[in-house]
Amino acid sequence: MKDFSAAQGMYPVMLTPFTESGEIDWPAYDRLIDWYIEKGVTGIFAVCGSSEYFTLTEEEALRLSSVAVKRSAGRVHVLAGSNFHRTIEANIALTKRMAETGVEGCFITTPPPDVVPPEDNAMVDYYFAIHDAVDVPLYAYEQPVTPYKFSYDAIAKIGAGKRFIGMKDTSVNGTSIEEGVAHMKRKMQAAGDQFRILTAGSEYILPFLQAGVAGGMTIAANVAPGLFAELWRRFRANDMAAAQVLFERVTKVDEMIGYGYMKSAKIALGMIGLPIKPVTRVPSREFDANRLAALRDLVRLIEETEAEFGIGR
């Protein structure tokens, strides 16, 4: 039987704090993990796009996962990405090493089209080559920057794999809520009881939960984890009036954090009081006085909503 306990709820897609010199700031990373947990999240997704995994060495990525597992100490689920090399052999080896850190599952991202053709048969073969070579729960991840999105048929095939637990879905970005709900219902129908789907889109999170999606993994949860955790709790308690208010707030957070992400999130976390420096390894947009004021408004919205709903008390 598959264990779906980690394939539900609300996850921040973790940032990697850096020092001014660009090294990983491990004390800040510990504090960030504790803060996510204090805010009530279901789990944390380490070593992902928001972690700037494409700038990390393999040893840094493995240590991020290992520290996340040890620091969380069983308080929440920990999942991690393990597919950022260009050859399948290297990704199989990395997935095996990532599993040894103690994470409860590894995410396999869709590779770029010059590595695997963006069509179903080639992608399913790629995923099963990893599946058959490792012994760890696996999640599929539709990498937003690659053109391939899983078809319903591909989801049914992957879901049949004994180690495939679920996926992070990005296929609805830019569609209306109505179109997105219809699409997600067809995906979940294809997945059946063998596969769980979590959405990356804050702007869809409540309608998708109502449609049967298992949870969310969103960039906005990096700065407002308490709001997402409370939305999940209210939804499960069938308190839809409160869930709707929280949905409207997290949608605003998502809109406000988009400019210059991931630097925007790090600046906001610093404003909240976490020891996170506004340092990224990838180039970022600049933040003038108006942009900084907008981030202060974002923090104010989060803090006021937390006070309104008693989050963190």
pLDDT at 306: 98
Helix, strand or coil for residue 299? helix
What does the alpha-carbon distance between residue 176 and residue 197 come to, in Å, rounded to a whole number?
A: 18
110-138 pLDDT, tens per residue? 999 999 999 999 999 999 999 999 999 99
pLDDT at 1: 81
Say what the alpha-carbon torsion angle 311, 200, 67, 37 is, to the nearest 10 degrees. 10
pLDDT at 42: 98
Question: In the chain, what are the domain boundaries?
Answer: 9-309
What does the alpha-carbon distance between residue 175 and residue 178 come to, in Å, rounded to a whole number?
A: 8
What does the alpha-carbon distance between residue 25 and residue 177 come to, in Å, rounded to a whole number?
A: 39
185 half-sphere exposure, CB direction, 13 A CA radius: 9
pLDDT at 313: 65
List, for the chain, all residue ranges whose pLDDT scores fall below the cut of 50: none
What does the alpha-carbon distance between residue 110 and residue 125 come to, in Å, rounded to a whole number?
A: 12
- Can you point out the beta strands (E) in 137-205? 138-141, 164-169, 196-199
What does the alpha-carbon distance between residue 271 and residue 273 come to, in Å, rounded to a whole number?
A: 5
Query: What's at 303, amino acid-wise?
Result: E
How many Cβ atoms sit within 10 Å of the Cβ of residue 296? 13
Say what the alpha-carbon torsion angle 5, 66, 271, 279 is, to the nearest 10 degrees. -130
Contact 161, 128 (CB under 8 A): yes
- Residues 6 or more apart from 108 whose CB is under 8 A from it? 82, 83, 91, 95, 127, 130, 138, 139, 140, 141
75-117 pLDDT, tens per residue? 999 999 998 899 999 999 999 999 999 999 999 999 999 999 9
pLDDT at 265: 98
pLDDT at 172: 81
On whether the 9-309 domain is CATH 3.20.20.70, my answer is yes
What does the alpha-carbon distance between residue 169 and residue 217 come to, in Å, rounded to a whole number?
A: 9
List 129's β-bridge partners, or say none: none
Contact 180, 152 (CB under 8 A): no
Global confidence as pTM: 0.96
What does the alpha-carbon distance between residue 245 and residue 295 come to, in Å, rounded to a whole number?
A: 21
